[in-house]
Amino acid sequence: MTALSVSTSSAASLRADALVIGVAKGPKGIVLAPGAEAVSEAFEGKLAEILSTLGATGAEGEAVKVPSPAGLKAALVLAVGLGDAAEGSYELEALRRAAGVAARALAGSKKAALALPAESAEETEAVALGGLLGAYAFGTYKSGGGKEPVGELILLSTRKGSKDAKAAVERALVVGEEMNRARDLVNTAPNDLNPKGFAAIAQAAGKEHGLKVEVLDEKALLKGGFGGLLGVGNGSTNPPRLVKVAYTHPKAKASLAFVGKGITYDSGGISLKPAGHNETMKCDMAGAAAVFAAVVSAKRLGLAVNITGWLALAENMPSGSATRPGDVLRMYGGKTVEVLNTDAEGRLVLADAIVRAGEEKPDVIVDVATLTGAMMLALGSRTFGVMANNDELRSTLHTASGEVGEQSWPMPLPPELRKGMTESTIADLANMGERMGGGLVAGLFLKEFVAEGIDWAHLDIAGPAFHEGAPFGYTPKGGTATAVRTLVRFAEQKAAGGKA
């Protein structure tokens, strides 16, 4: 992973392959952002004019390179766009994205200095995290030919020695490393990451970071009556797993349960997906990857809160032993479910895990899942939906996601949509309901398995979990690690005594 360091050296005196500055769109042309003063002096005050001549506008996502003059030790100046000029401080997400653009543009470089606005601890963290995420590259299967990520990012900040700046950089390092771990998991080919393999990775991380990890294999799941996980995994030669990753803190006053959907490959089962919809289904375990990364992050940050992550891992395949449409599964806890569509499998493995999580009486359960195509139709490819049985909790998670730069939107759980699932003539529930509002129906299904008195929220990350287009900001093509930052921010709030 790209190294990160902080320096109080002046931009002019720092030796690096490239020096990154921010530019913005002003009313009369481009405006140099704070941090670029020394660089501008080296260009004798003509830097903005030169950049404009080269076509720079300051728009978000823009990157323009200029050879350095004699007054700079860095060989190259890279100007990245921040969007509209700010009267005071720039939005943190604009800084994250600009740093990410810079890191991607400088792939192959050994050392780059970031002279972006970083006066406050929040700005320092934003620049550091954006740079680390933008530098990400997944090269496991590449046999040469690709550029290596930038080797080191040096963050120029006047706050290097301050306690809050040090904490900000440490937080960026932890969250960035764990998000990139989650991205690696999502990007790994499904023949190399099955439920057993994912469980082994969790066990190794548990030993490394001092987390308690328990794995229920297919025999333990059968003995315990986990009908949802077993039903989904029946068609695969790779049996399911339920993994518990627990972090406890001696001063914790709140306990959280994070539950992640971990379908390591989703063919749709007997209800086979149509051609063109299978190629990216290695990403159907992105919820479990996010939960895993969030719990490890909480441990590394030492948050004063107890968190248990539940990874519901299975592979959904068609075969002679696969669950059929029309089968009835007896879920963990005793409820029966008529399976009308085997491609609505995520809710089945989550239901088992939610019931199990509820037995430990956490204050809050939050599940994370690439659950429904309907949520993508509703919110697009960059926004996830937030549902909850508690309006305050839903609002808290929506706000938390915005604070850390993740796009979400609060969604309802209309009680009238419940009827379609409860009309099964042979079971307590069906795993399908009305077609319209399918993302909400899935949320209502999960709500049926939440124990009385426990606050619960559901994050449907189907849209933003896997990015198929060109990279932008700090977001690469492929796995994005969506929801990790939201979960970590929520945990931090609970550690600080937040209510919802």
Contact between residue 270 and residue 325 where contact means Cβ atoms under 8 Å apart = yes
Structure-token match 């359960």, residue found: 365
Are the C-beta atoms of residues 199 and 296 closer than 8 Å to each other? no
Phi-psi region of 144 (alpha: psi -120 to 50; beta: other; left: phi over 0): left
Report CA Rg, the chain: 24
Reduced to 3 states (helix: H, G, I; strand: E, B; else coil), residue 463 is coil
Phi, psi of 309 (to 5 degrees): -95, 135
Contacts of 287 (CB under 8 A, 6+ apart): 260, 261, 262, 346, 367, 368, 369, 370, 371, 459, 461, 465, 483
CA gap 495, 304 in Å, rounded = 5
Contact between 447 and 389 under an 8 Å Cβ cutoff? The reply is yes
Q: Among the options 160, 166, 196, 273, which is catalytic?
A: 273
C-alpha atoms less than 13 angstroms from C-alpha of 28 in its C-beta half-sphere: 1
Residue 481 token pair: 């690690």
Query: Is-catalytic flag, 273?
Result: yes
CA distance 393 to 387: 9
User: Minimal CA–CA distance to 387: which of 363, 402, 371?
Assistant: 371
Q: Could you tell me if 92 and 122 are in contact, meaning their C-beta atoms sit under 8 angstroms apart?
A: yes
In the residue annotation, 219 being an active-site residue is answered as: no
Strands 111-115 and 76-84: unpaired
User: Which amino acid type is present at position 436?
Assistant: M
Cβ pair 397, 490 in contact under 8 A: yes
Mapped onto helix, strand or coil, the DSSP state of residue 439 is: helix
Active site residue: 159, 183, 299, 347, which one? Answer: 347
Q: Which positions are catalytic? A: 273, 347
